[in-house]
Amino acid sequence: MSGSEFESLEKTLEKHIPDAELKEVKRILFGKETKKLALPACAVEAASARDFELQGYLFEASPEQLRPPRTVRVGLIQNHIVLPTDAPVLDQITALHKRIGDMVDVAAMCGVNIVCFQEAWTMPFAFCTREKEPWTEFAESAEEGYTTQFCQKLAKKYNLVVITPILEREEIHNVLWNTAVVISNSGSILGKTRKNHIPRVGDFNESTYYMEGNTGHRVFQTQFGKIAVNICYGRHHPLNWFMYGMNGAEIIFNPSATVGGLSEPMWSIEARNAAIANHCFTCGINRVGTEYFNNDFTSGDGRKVQGVFFLIAHKDLGHFYGSSYVAAPDGSRTPGLSRTRDGLMVTEMDLNLTRQISDKWNFKMTGRYEEYAEELTRATKHDFKPNIIRE
What pLDDT is stored for residue 250 in this prediction?
98
CB atoms within 10 A of CB 366: 8
DSSP secondary structure string for all residues of 79-96: ---SS-TTS-HHHHHHHH
In whole angstroms, what is the distance from residue 351 CA to residue 202 CA?
Answer: 39
The closest of 151, 74, 86, 126 to 351, measured between CA atoms, is 74
The strand order across the sheet containing 343-350 reads 35-36, 53-59, 343-350, 71-78, 114-116, 161-170, 175-183, 189-194
Tell me, what DSSP letter sits at residue 207? G
Evaluate whether 259 touches 281 at the Cβ level (below 8 Å). no
CB atoms within 10 A of CB 11: 13
Examine the residue annotation and report whether 232 is marked as an active-site residue of this protein: yes
The closest of 258, 247, 275 to 349, measured between CA atoms, is 275
Examine the residue annotation and report whether 364 is marked as an active-site residue of this protein: no
Phi, psi dihedral angles at 230 (to 5 degrees): -100, 95
The closest of 342, 316, 341 to 85, measured between CA atoms, is 316
Tell me, what DSSP letter sits at residue 140? B
Task: Name the catalytic one among 10, 53, 119, 348.
Answer: 119
Examine the residue annotation and report whether 195 is marked as an active-site residue of this protein: yes
Mean pLDDT of 373-382: 96
**Predicted model pTM:** 0.95
CB atoms within 10 A of CB 376: 11
**pLDDT tens-digit profile of 70-102?**
999 999 999 999 999 999 999 999 999 999 999
Question: Which helix (DSSP H) or strand (DSSP E) does residue 27 occupy?
Answer: helix 19-30
**pLDDT tens-digit profile of 113-171?**
999 999 999 999 999 888 999 999 999 999 999 999 999 999 999 999 999 999 999 98
Q: Which of the two residues, 25 and 193, has the higher pLDDT score?
A: 193
CATH number of 38-291+302-379: 3.60.110.10
Q: Is the pLDDT of residue 304 over 60?
A: no
Task: Name the catalytic one among 116, 232, 280, 283.
Answer: 232
**pLDDT tens-digit profile of 108-118?**
999 999 999 99
pLDDT band at 307 (very low <50, low <70, confident <90, very high): low
Task: Name the catalytic one among 116, 151, 168, 195.
Answer: 195
What's the mean per-residue pLDDT of the chain? 94
Percent of the chain at pLDDT > 70 equals 95
Q: Which of the two residues, 186 and 202, has the higher pLDDT score?
A: 186
Q: Domain coordinates of the chain in residue numbers?
A: 38-291+302-379
**pLDDT tens-digit profile of 28-61?**
888 989 999 999 999 999 999 999 999 999 999 9
CA distances from 251 to 95, 212, 284, 292 (A): 30, 22, 11, 34
